[in-house]
Amino acid sequence: MAKRIDVTDLNVYYGSFKAVEGVSMTVEPRSVTAFIGPSGCGKSTFLRTLNRMHEVIPGGRVEGKVMLDDQDLYAPSMDPVTVRRTIGMVFQRPNPFPTMSIYDNVAAGLRLNGVKNKKTLDGIVESSLKGANLWTEVKDRLNKPGAGLSGGQQQRLCIARAIAVQPQVLLMDEPCSALDPISTLAIEDLINELKSEFTIVIVTHNMQQAARVSDRTAFFNLKATGEPGRLIEIDDTTRIFNNPSEQSTEDYISGRFG
Amino acid sequence: MSAITDERRPDDASVPDDATPPGGRQGRDALRQMGSPHRARNVKDVIARVVMWFCFFLAMIPLVWILWTVISKGAHLLGSMEWWTGNQRNINSDDAGGGARHAIEGTLQMVGMTALIAVPIGIFTAVYLVEYGRGKLARAISFTVDILSGVPSIVAALFIYAVWVTTFGLSRSGFAAALALVLLMIPVVVRSTEEMLKLVPNELREAAYALGVPKWVTVVKVVLRTAFSGIITGVLLGIARVMGETAPLLILAPYTKNFQRDLFNGNFPTLPMMINQDRGDFALATAAERMWAAALTLIILVLLLNIIGRVIAYFGSVKK
Ligand SMILES: Nc1ncnc2c1ncn2[C@@H]1O[C@H](COP(=O)(O)OP(=O)(O)OP(=O)(O)O)[C@@H](O)[C@H]1O
Ligand SMILES: [Mg+2]
């Protein structure tokens, strides 16, 4: 299931503004990679290039190479829709479809792509909700609107929705920043379970969270506002937090700036 | 009022002492001194309220007056069965009563045809403008819609007359009038649909894309679905808007007192034209009373559409 991502020399633009410059990294399969760094350094921007969501923004374009195992994601023959089915995404703010029930939300990715078989859908909805640790809380009200859940439940619903299309990789952009500590813990536990099946990349502002959930950590930084963000270093999480090779990483982690 | 304002003050004081507020210590002292202007603010508040209520009542006067006139002069005809079932055939101006069924049916049929043409065009245009349109073409279309929404109804009618009757040599008919109404309705549908589509949060589109859903499916199944009740409301309000249009009917659809269900041939009965017909013999009490009754009927139709629109908006809106 899970796949490796190899990024080489990636530049990311918004129109003429270069937001991210020269990123090369490898994201290991079946592991959690955390992105940390000060606000505006391009973590979200870079994350969105990994499943070609960046080009949805008018003027958004990318230079460089992103490989998923041996597939070039930015090859001209590559359909961005296929890429996004393979690499799912969870957003900062929970965004269930407001017109759909809990069941329909989870089934949405499959239904909108033409899967109609009720049995198949039932099975996938149940396993996805179980996978997202939400099943016991919602199994009696699958037909109630998804927007009626609590924020933390909504976020887990969004995770269930993302894993229901059975992606290889799951990207998460600050998935806990709108949640209370309990829901945050629930999602962190979930990430720990999911990593046996998926390759996970998570952006977070919370150092403890990065330290708790991730196997590897990438630190991004930018020289000054208006300058493009860069990858400073990526290494095992324990190493980044205890003995980073760059001074700026240590400064950031110990709270001396950013 | 002042109690409420005063209650806010402990809030300022509750900033923990070790927290430095934005602007530093000086900033917080400035916050502490802010208590006094609330009296002046209350006075302004009261003045603003009085002015608003006054303007509201001013606006209500003509509305109530119109409704009162129409109801008091027209209501009693609406109580008869004949009004809702019959037509005006063989009823002269100085005869009392008769029915309005022919005109009610005609008006509904005509606006139905108008909606059938205008709604898809309007919705597709709005979808293009909001979801796909970039650059010159989109701006040109948007500009055209702006112009169209400023076209007086009589000009729209003359345009259709010039094309339909003068150029193609076709006869005046209910359908020709419906075409003129289409021109008037399209900008209403485009603008209201556009507003509704813009209200759909971008996050929902991104959520769908991130599931590997193609753009057009996202537009149909997520965006249009989310905006659905708002769009329907806009459409119904648009229909209500063209229902009372008279200039296109005067020019393109001559009145008949009889039932006429053929939109494409011959004269066509409608409520505004029935009103206009009886207005010609306003001096006769029999005609005047019919005129008010037809006016009231038209108001009721428009009102019903508005109510249906609101009900759909209420029940169709996203439930928590
Ligand atoms: N839609 C956009 N159009 C133009 N510029 C953008 C857009 N989104 C982000 N940027 C710019 O790109 C740079 C990187 O932004 P990005 O959102 O990736 O930062 P981030 O690291 O995710 O920050 P945060 O931690 O606050 O989420 C910033 O300078 C930002 O202003
Ligand atoms: Mg971000």
The residue whose C-alpha atom lies closest to atom 1 belonging to ligand 1 is A57
Supply the range of the domain harboring residue B38.
Answer: 2-78
- Is residue A40 classed as helix, strand or coil in its secondary structure? coil
The answer to whether position A49 is within a domain reads yes
3-state secondary structure of B262: coil
Encoding tokens for residue B45? Answer: 């508040």
Q: Tell whether B124 and B256 lie within a shared domain.
A: yes
pLDDT of residue A1: 57
- pLDDT score at B1: 39
Report pLDDT digits (tens) over A184-195: 998 899 899 999
Q: Does residue B87 form part of some domain? A: no
Of B25, B43, B78, which marks where a domain is finished? B78
Same-domain check for residues B43 and B179? no
| CATH at B165 | 1.10.3720.10
Q: Are B235 and B295 part of one and the same domain?
A: yes
Residue located via tokens 């996805």: A128
Domain co-membership, B14 together with B162: no
Does residue B95 belong to any structural domain of this protein?
A: no
Q: Which of A11, A12, A45, A221 to mutate to test the pocket of ligand 1 (most atoms within 8 A of CB)?
A: A45
pLDDT tens digits along A209-254: 999 999 999 999 998 888 999 999 999 999 999 999 999 999 999 8
Cβ <8 Å between B211 and A162: yes
Residue numbers of chain B with a pLDDT score lower than 50:
1-23, 320
Q: Answer yes or no: do B48 and B109 share one domain.
A: no
Q: Decide if B178 is inside a domain.
A: yes
CATH code of the domain covering residue A76: 3.40.50.300
Residue contact B318–A99, C-beta within 8 A: yes
Summarised one tens digit per residue, pLDDT across range B50-108 is 999 999 999 999 999 999 999 999 999 999 999 999 999 998 888 988 999 999 999 99
What is the CA angle A61-A65-A69, rounded to 5?
Answer: 130
Cα A46 to ligand 1 centre (Å): 9
Do residues B67 and B109 share a domain?
no
Instruction: Please check whether residues B242 and B115 belong to one and the same domain.
Output: yes
Q: How many domains does chain A have?
A: 1
Token pair belonging to A60: 């958004």
**Cα B81 from Cα B245, distance rounded (Å):** 27
pLDDT, position A223: 84
- Please identify, by atom number, the ligand 1 atom nearest to the C-alpha of residue A15: 4
The answer to whether position B70 is within a domain reads yes
Which residue in the block uniquely carries the two structure tokens 């205890």? A242
Instruction: Count structural domains, chain B.
Output: 2
Which positions in chain A touch B217 (Cβ < 8 Å)? 112-113
Ligand nearest, relative to CA of residue A206: 1
pLDDT at A164: 95
Same domain? B36 vs B148: no
Would you call B99 helix, strand, or coil by DSSP? coil
Range of the domain at A205: 5-93+169-253
Interface contacts A/B by beta carbons within 8 Å: 77
> Cα-Cα-Cα-Cα dihedral of B181, B182, B186, B188, to 10°?
20
pLDDT of B26: 53
> Rounded to 5 degrees, what are φ and ψ at A236?
-60, 145
Parallel/antiparallel/unpaired status of strands A32-36 and A199-203: parallel
- Residues B66, B112, single domain; the answer is no
Q: Does a structural domain hold residue A144?
A: no
Cα nearest neighbour of A107 on chain B: B211
B45 and B152 share one domain: no
Report yes or no on B93 lying in a domain.
no
Beginning with the edge strand found earlier in the chain, give each strand of the sheet holding A216-222 in spatial order.
Answer: A71-72, A60-68, A5-14, A17-27, A229-236, A216-222, A32-36, A199-203, A169-173, A87-90
Residue B96 is predicted with a pLDDT of 87
Q: Cα separation of B181 and B246, whole Å?
A: 10
CA distance A86 to A84: 5
* One domain, residues B127 and B70: no
- A117 within some domain: no
Residue A215 within a domain = yes
Q: Does any domain span residue A98?
A: no
Q: Please say which residue of B78, B110, B141 terminates a domain.
A: B78
What tens-digit pLDDT sequence spans chain A (258 residues)? 578 999 999 999 999 999 999 999 999 999 999 999 999 999 999 999 999 999 999 999 999 999 999 999 999 999 999 999 999 999 999 999 999 999 999 999 999 988 999 999 999 999 999 989 899 999 999 999 999 999 999 999 999 999 999 999 999 999 998 888 888 998 899 899 999 989 999 999 999 999 999 999 999 999 888 899 999 999 999 999 999 999 999 999 988 754
Q: Is A131 within a domain?
A: no
pLDDT of res. B34: 55
What is the pTM assigned to this prediction?
Answer: 0.84
Question: Does residue A89 lie in a domain region?
Answer: yes
Same domain, B230 and B132: yes
